[in-house]
């Protein structure tokens, strides 16, 4: 298992350190794990001038899987766009063809009181958001800020080809077959032609999966339904931009954005694994960030890239036990609970593991 570790910026190094301890433990038990380290994002810009250096590309191209912390920070916000840390993340996703982003928003029952919604609304919530990751307005051309009739005009373009929609549809339907067999496709077909095609292709592809129920929802309604009754959803499939927004929203229903892992897969299940949150500059360097989303991303790596479902379950069970023991980082602590730091949460998970 050749794993490239890209810690990135802000809280990235702190949360990655705890996930690496989990990998080291598994290695110590005999799993054939080799870790190699590289730079991405702002730290890569500082060292090389580029957010996704060629060396990093070589490293991840030869690895079986990538574990990534987070990129970005206010000190980089004035850089020209090609040098922005976020460009590094977009480049690695695009160059490895990681089109399928799986973001499971599952409530650990122990965290019902940390949810921003009432316990009775979130209990049992278990949603898989399947976000298309290499297309949409994120990558469409033309793009830029240009002069038109003497004023600046900002341009981005939403584009999806039917092949791109088909392949993410298959991922969503096949994931649903292993769950509760319901896919809700989220679009904005009442306004955007691009998403009319999205809906049409979802319908066509859905015919190959008669055992899965396909429904459609407009994205504004979906944002509302997620906080009204999140348990109505099994698999949500949507484009890059809507998936970005809805997954941050869904994360808070599980207690914190610090709880949500993700897998970004190509067609061979080579994968990049990362928490869905960012570099959290407001809490970086303070040992208070929640490392569980990153540790749970290691579980997803074991499941999807390495087919080690038993190892994945062990990690998930260790996290569950820590939570049922009442151990919490600040973001998920309810009133009166003992609050652990990032490293101490890592200690607790290792003990259970
Ligand atoms: P963010 O996700 O970094 O932070 C949003 C809020 O959630 C902050 O209050 C933060 O403290 C909190 N938070 C995030 N992760 C946490 C954790 N593990 N534990 C506890 N609290 C946590 O989003 P933002 O503030 O909008 O963005 C900050 C920077 O991160 C920006 O430069 C942005 O571009 C970048 N970003 C990177 C990624 C990524 O690398 N995948 C994702 C999102 C944002
Ligand atoms: C995420 C992030 C990224 C995205 C940014 C940092 C490019 O928000 O991984 O969710 O928009 O995809
Ligand atoms: Mn995001």
- The domain that holds 197 is classified in CATH as 3.40.718.10
Domain for residue 208, yes or no? Answer: yes
DSSP state of 308: -
For the question of residue 138 being annotated catalytic, the response is: yes
Ligand 3 midpoint to CA 273 (Å): 14
The two structure tokens encoding residue 54: 């060629």
Residue 3's SS3 state is: strand
The pLDDT of residue 255: 96
pLDDT band of 105, cuts 50, 70, 90: very high
Domain for residue 241, yes or no? Answer: yes
Q: Per-residue pLDDT tens for 144-178?
A: 999 999 999 999 999 999 999 999 999 999 999 99
In terms of domains, do 346 and 246 share one? no
Ligand 3 midpoint to CA 275 (Å): 10
Domain for residue 114, yes or no? Answer: yes
Question: Over the range 49-83, which residues count as b (16 or more CB within 10 Å of their CB) and which as e?
Answer: ebbbbeebbebbeebbbbbbbbbbbeebeeeeeee
Q: Which of 240, 238, 193 is nearest to 215 (CA)?
A: 238
pLDDT band of 335, cuts 50, 70, 90: confident
In terms of domains, do 36 and 184 share one? no
In terms of domains, do 109 and 248 share one? yes
Q: Per-residue pLDDT tens for 47-73?
A: 999 999 999 999 999 999 999 999 999
Domain for residue 151, yes or no? Answer: yes
In terms of domains, do 205 and 84 share one? no
The distance of Cα 152 from the centroid of its chain, to the nearest Å, equals 34
Question: What is the gyration radius of the CA atoms in the chain, in angstroms?
Answer: 20
Q: Of the candidates 238, 256, 274, which is a domain's last residue?
A: 256
From the list 9, 136, 234, 244, the catalytic residue is: 244
Q: Considering the entire predicted model, what is its pTM?
A: 0.97
The pLDDT of residue 24: 98
In terms of domains, do 21 and 49 share one? yes
What residues pair up with 185 in beta bridges, in sequence order? 216, 237
Q: Per-residue pLDDT tens for 234-293?
A: 999 999 999 999 999 999 999 999 999 999 999 998 999 999 999 999 999 999 999 999
In terms of domains, do 111 and 224 share one? yes
Question: pLDDT averaged over the chain?
Answer: 97
How many domains does the chain fold into? 2
In terms of domains, do 88 and 106 share one? no
The pLDDT of residue 319: 98
Q: What is the torsional sign of CA 337, 105, 253, 15?
A: positive
Q: Of the candidates 256, 287, 304, which is a domain's last residue?
A: 256
**How many CA atoms does the CB half-sphere of 222 hold within 13 Å?**
26
pLDDT band of 336, cuts 50, 70, 90: confident
The pLDDT of residue 284: 98
The pairing of strands 126-132 and 235-238 is: parallel
Q: Of the candidates 204, 223, 256, which is a domain's last residue?
A: 256
Domain for residue 261, yes or no? Answer: no
Higher pLDDT, 344 or 336: 344
The pLDDT of residue 337: 87
Ligand 3 midpoint to CA 244 (Å): 5
pLDDT band of 104, cuts 50, 70, 90: very high
List, chain by chain if needed, residues with CB within 6 Å of any ligand 1 atom: 11, 15, 70-73, 86, 89, 257-258, 274, 277-283, 289-290, 293, 331
From the list 24, 200, 220, 309, the catalytic residue is: 220
In terms of domains, do 104 and 84 share one? no
List, chain by chain if needed, residues with CB within 6 Å of any ligand 2 atom: 72, 86, 89-90, 244, 276, 278
Is the pLDDT reported for residue 338 higher than 90? no
Tell me the CA distances in angstroms from 266 to 49, 65, 96, 106, 317, one per residue in order.
28, 11, 7, 23, 27
In terms of domains, do 309 and 202 share one? no
Mean pLDDT of 90-97: 98
Phi/psi at 213 (5° precision): -85, 125
CB burial of residue 268 (10 Å; 0-12, 13-18, 19+): exposed
Domain that holds residue 141: 100-256
In terms of domains, do 110 and 239 share one? yes
The pLDDT of residue 327: 96
Q: Per-residue pLDDT tens for 13-41?
A: 999 999 999 999 999 999 999 999 999 99
Q: Does the model's ipTM exceed the 0.90 cut?
A: yes
Tokens 């070589």 correspond to what residue? 58
């Amino acid at each position: 298992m050749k794993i490239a570790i890209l810690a990135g910026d802000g809280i990235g190094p702190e949360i990655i350190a705890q996930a690496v301890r989990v990998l080291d433990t598994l290695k110590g038990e005999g799993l054939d794990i080799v870790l190699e380290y590289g730079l991405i994002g702002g730290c890569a810009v500082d060292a090389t001038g580029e957010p996704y250096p060629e060396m990093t590309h070589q490293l991840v191209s030869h690895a079986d899987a990538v574990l990534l912390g987070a990129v970005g920070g206010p000190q980089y916000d004035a850089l020209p766009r090609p040098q922005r840390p976020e460009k590094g993340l977009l480049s690695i996703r695009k160059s490895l063809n990681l089109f399928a982003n799986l973001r499971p928003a599952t409530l650990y029952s122990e965290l019902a009181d940390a949810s921003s919604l009432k316990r009775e609304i979130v209990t049992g919530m278990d949603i898989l958001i399947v976000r298309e990751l290499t297309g949409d307005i994120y990558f469409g051309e033309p793009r830029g800020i240009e002069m038109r009739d003497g004023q600046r005009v900002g341009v981005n373009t939403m584009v999806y080809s039917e092949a791109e929609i088909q392949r993410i549809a298959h991922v969503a339907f096949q994931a649903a077959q292993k769950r509760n067999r319901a896919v809700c496709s989220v679009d904005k077909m009442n306004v955007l032609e691009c998403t009319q095609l999205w809906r049409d292709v979802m319908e066509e592809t859905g015919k190959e999966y008669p055992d899965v129920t396909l429904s459609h929802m407009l994205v504004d309604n979906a944002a509302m339904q997620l906080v009204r009754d999140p348990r109505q959803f099994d698999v949500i499939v949507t484009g890059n931009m809507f998936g970005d927004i809805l997954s941050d929203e869904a994360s808070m229903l599980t207690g914190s954005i610090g709880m949500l892992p993700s897998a970004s897969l190509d067609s061979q299940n080579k994968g990049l694994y990362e928490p869905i949150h960012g570099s959290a500059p407001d809490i970086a360097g303070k040992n208070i960030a929640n490392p569980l989303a990153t540790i749970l991303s290691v579980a997803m790596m074991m499941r999807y890239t390495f087919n080690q479902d038993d190892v994945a379950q062990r990690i998930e069970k260790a996290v569950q036990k820590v939570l049922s023991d009442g151990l919490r980082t600040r973001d998920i602590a309810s009133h009166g609970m003992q609050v652990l730091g990032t490293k101490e949460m890592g200690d607790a998970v290792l003990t259970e593991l």
